[in-house]
Structures are given as structure tokens and as C-alpha cells.
Amino acid sequence: MGGVIKANTDFGLKVMLEHPEFKKGVLNPTHKIVFINKEVILEFVSWKEETRYKSYKKVIK
């Protein structure tokens, strides 16, 4: 992940795992390996941009 800070990715994963719509795109087979579906991460980034100044607990459409 070029140009991405690890703390940002950890936070993004935490938020993704809190929402069932995005949780389906994260596979964690071991404690060190994480696979993220490219289409789901793009949906997440778009959603994150749209809800930037809103509460994270907002229900996704």
C-alpha cells in the first residue's frame, strides 16, 4: 500500500469490520494475514468520503 500509513489502514479495517456491508470484503485467515476485496474497499472509500463529517454509527443505505 504505497503512501498509506499503517494506523490509517488499521482504523479503516476496524470501521469496515463494524459494518456488515464491508465486513464481507475482509478475510483474516491468521493474526498476521489480511485479505481485502478490491471492490469492497473501493465501496468503503466512497462511503467514507460521503460520510466524512457524519457519525460512523450511521446506518449504510
The domain segmentation of the chain, as residue ranges, is: 6-50
Would the pLDDT of 6 be above 50? Answer: yes
CA distances from 36 to 28, 40, 57 (A): 9, 8, 22
The pTM of the full predicted model, rounded to 2 decimals, is 0.65
26-53, pLDDT tens digit by residue? 998 998 888 888 898 889 888 888 887 7
| Unique residue bearing C-alpha cell 503512501 | 3
The Cα 47–Cα 61 span in angstroms is: 10
